[in-house]
Amino acid sequence: MYLIMLVYISHSSSDFKLYKSLRDQCEAKGFTIITREKPFEFGETLSEKGKHRIELANVAIVLLTAFGRSSYRVFQETGFIASTSKDHFVIEGFGRNVEVRKKLFDFNSPLGDDENYFASLSSLEKLVREFSSQLKPEAFNFIYQTDLVY
């Protein structure tokens, strides 16, 4: 039996179609997507409500396209995700490839339910890898590689 897993997807507003496709696939597999608050206005920072939504999620996915790399919101969300030691996946392009990087921490399973948490996490990882394998780097709009600092 899988745990009900809450997933937060960080994406730029320019990547809405990509986000929607990933969201729909996650929901079809039984994952619950935590939606983010309204779009940022110029100069806004990540609000306490936005941080709380990320904290509620069991795991996060970051869509790091060229638009995502240039998005202040994605930058702030990614920094907050890393600062909370939240398990997460980053979908990013390197040259002609789309790759998935994962960052997992040892203490994130809720209520000590390690077996169900890791079964759900494994299922989500499979979905994310299948999703990323369907993407074309050109369509994903990659310009250059970046490295996130953790």
Give the pLDDT of residue 150: 41
How far apart CA 133 and CA 29 sit, in angstroms, is: 17
Give the pLDDT of residue 2: 53
> Nearest 5°: CA angle at 133, between 127 and 135?
110
Six-digit token pair at 117?
């948490």
Could you give the C-alpha distances from 112 to 5, 33, 116, 117, 120, in angstroms and in order? 14, 22, 9, 9, 14
Give the pLDDT of residue 25: 95
Task: Judge contact between 54 and 60, C-beta under 8 A.
Answer: yes
- Tell me how crowded residue 96 is: count the other CB atoms within 10 A of its CB: 9
Query: pLDDT digit of tens for each residue in the chain (150 aa)?
Result: 455 789 999 998 888 899 999 999 999 999 999 987 666 555 567 778 888 889 999 999 999 888 888 888 889 999 999 998 889 999 987 667 788 988 887 665 555 567 788 888 899 999 999 999 888 776 565 444 444 444
**What domains are defined for the chain?**
6-133 (3.40.50)
- Tell me how crowded residue 144 is: count the other CB atoms within 10 A of its CB: 9
Task: Judge contact between 9 and 23, C-beta under 8 A.
Answer: yes
